[in-house]
Structure 1
Amino acid sequence: MAQAEEHRTQETLAVRRADGESRSLAASLPRLMLEARRIANNVTHGLHGRRRAGAGENFWQYRRFVSGEPAQNVDWRRSARDDHLYVRELEWEAAHTVWLWPDRSLSMAFASKSARDSKLERGLIVAFALADLLVAGGERVGIPGLMNPTSSNNVIDKMAQAILHDTATRSSLPPSFVPSSRAEIVVLSDFWSPVGEIRQMLAGLSASGAHGTLVQIVDPAEESFPYAGRVEFVEPEGGGAITAGRAEKWASDYIALVAAHRDAIRAETSKLDWLFSTHTTSRSAAELLLFLHAGMTTAKDAGGKAGRGA
């Protein structure tokens, strides 16, 4: 119980810091990049435009009801014909939805001396900054199970408040939900979850045809394993502790296991034409933000970029 409370305090401080850092980061990037992405997509879609669900008059599609949405969104007539709840979406010719998931689980609070930020802070900074840029370009941004998609100019404030008032258990991976077929999803996590859980998450999120990017945010110490001598390693999410008599002897096996874990994730994302990348917190947050922008711009034909570090 004490550990959970301590983590919530760390999270509150991280959210407040990320709020300021993300505004500065977002303001420093050329807004023309987002406009270039919009123009490129419009050319690609040609005269058909970018049919999206949103504010409009014409029916677009039914989609599954997402936990946390207002009950008045439910189309009860359509839902009566099935065992699930459905929402009636209207057509929007410009904006679409980008779902962002910054992992806020206990393991994300880790930060070694060589890191610029904790993994938690870095994930929040980038998520907030990306949301700000997307909304400035007319897109809608939401957090699965926590915040409905919005195009509000104060999206950072809305995200921060939603996170600060969240009383649910901090999960590493996003909750199960059904995004629209044209939605984009960005998951920022350390992805130390078992590959089976990651595979299950991907299967659920991609079932409707949505495209996404997984970014593994890691601390420099998690990359290089710079430990020597007698060291006790504590798993922050209930996995217990283990003591190494001579930790340096574990380094090669550890690095091999990390590589194998990443290869397994990359194999799963490649099957779905999703992107997978790694980012170390000793590097610039702006570098990751630029990578995500580029990945979202060329998502359909960027298979060669999958797995490139950012």
Structure 2
Amino acid sequence: MTRTVPLRPRAEALAQPLPPLLARARHLASGVVLGEHGRRRPGLGDSFWQYRPAQPGDTARAIDWRRSARSDQHFVQEKEWQAAQAVVFWVDRAQSMRFASRPDLSPKADRAALIALAASVLLNQGGERIGLSDMGAPPMRGNLQLERMAEALAHPAAADYGAPDVSVMPRHSRAVFLSDFLGDPAPVEAALTTAADRGVTGALIQVLDPAEEAFPYDGRTLFRSMGGSLEYETRKAGDLKARYLDRLADRKARLDGLARLTGWQFHIHHTDDAPTSALLWLYRALEGRV
């Protein structure tokens, strides 16, 4: 169902210096209280991070003798890893992602885009390089990159169901796939295994409308895909519920199993839940703390 948006709020939004989606993403990101940033882990760099007890294999040169003199143990000084990482997002903008079962709910595509862009705001603040898998350019840092991403996310795709493109993902980078994952799973599985073979780690977030979880349909019902290419009418929609829920559970289990197999993380987010919960989960997953 098409909803009419009053002209004045639309005009005011367009008059803002930032695209409306980016403004919402910045607002969402500003409400998130983070702990240590994901790059605070041992590695090459100049900034002190922490002391750790010396281990077999550590050279005498690596030992911090001043710190060790205050204890019965030998300690090694670790540095904070300084290399900026690349995080590439695939945000499904296919027709199926336009679904919203109630006027007060965000379409799945809008929620996925908001989560991805808010995470990008936080990552950009931490010095990471960010990008979209279908932007045709490598990940970059900066506010201009955020604006480019917001602009790209505003354009829907024509296909009924989406499939990720991993061709621009740098080796050993991180990636995030946000989709309802209700289409053919083969392209998603192929993309994920290809990414994993290139050393890419990351997270899958399945974004679902609450009606897609509950299947609250009964009696005569016409089911039509968002793009209009598929249509099915039944007089006994309630008889389909058990089979539908079984297939949905199988799809979730398949995604979770694939994520575990490839070293990724899997999470389900519903559009009637606060986006903050998904953003916090995603940021911690990218830090490796989930």
Superposition deviation, residue 275 in structure 1: 1.0
Alignment pair present for 1:172 and 2:175:
no
- Which residue of structure 2 aligns with residue 116 of structure 1? 105
Identity between Structure 1 and Structure 2 (%): 29
Superposition deviation, residue 239 in structure 1: 4.6
| 1:138-149 superposed matches below 5 A | 138-146=127-135, 147-149=137-139
Give, in whole Å, the separation in 2 of the partners of 1:258 and 1:182: 32
Q: Taking structure 1 as reference, are residues 226 and 114 closer, same or farther at Cα in structure 2, changes over 3 Å only?
A: farther
Alignment pair present for 1:259 and 2:259:
no
Letter in 2 for 1:223: E
Structure 1 consecutive aligned stretches of length 4 or more whose deviation exceeds 4 Å = 46-49, 166-171
Give, in whole Å, the separation in 2 of the partners of 1:167 and 1:270: 30
Once the two structures are superposed, residues 74-122 of structure 1 have per-residue CA deviations (whole angstroms, 9 ceiling, x without a partner) of xxxxxxxxxxxxxxxxxx9421100011111001110012763110110
Alignment pair present for 1:268 and 2:269:
no
Letter in 1 for 2:265: L
- Asked whether the 8 Å contact 1:132–1:155 carries over to 2, the reply is no
How large is the Cα RMSD of the aligned pairs?
2.8
Structure with higher helix content: 1
- Which residue of structure 2 aligns with residue 294 of structure 1? 284
- Which residue of structure 2 aligns with residue 96 of structure 1? 85
- Which residue of structure 2 aligns with residue 244 of structure 1? 234
Superposition deviation, residue 149 in structure 1: 1.1
- Which residue of structure 2 aligns with residue 21 of structure 1? 24
Which of 165, 187, 194 is the matching residue for 2:184?
A: 194
Superposition deviation, residue 167 in structure 1: 9.0
Q: Secondary structure at the match of 1:107?
A: helix
- Which residue of structure 1 aligns with residue 9 of structure 2? none
Q: Secondary structure at the match of 1:37?
A: coil
- Which residue of structure 2 aligns with residue 212 of structure 1? 202
Give, in whole Å, the separation in 2 of the partners of 1:115 and 1:188: 21
Alignment pair present for 1:38 and 2:39:
yes
Gaps of 5+ in 1: 1-12, 50-91, 303-310
Superposition deviation, residue 256 in structure 1: 0.7
How many correspondences in the alignment? 240
Q: Taking structure 1 as reference, are residues 139 and 155 closer, same or farther at Cα in structure 2, changes over 3 Å only?
A: same
Which of 133, 136, 160 is the matching residue for 2:122?
A: 133
Give, in whole Å, the separation in 2 of the partners of 1:168 and 1:284: 25
Gaps of 5+ in 2: 1-12, 48-80
- Asked whether the 8 Å contact 2:92–2:162 carries over to 1, the reply is yes
User: TM-score, with normalisation over the residues of structure 1?
Assistant: 0.70
User: TM-score, with normalisation over the residues of structure 2?
Assistant: 0.75
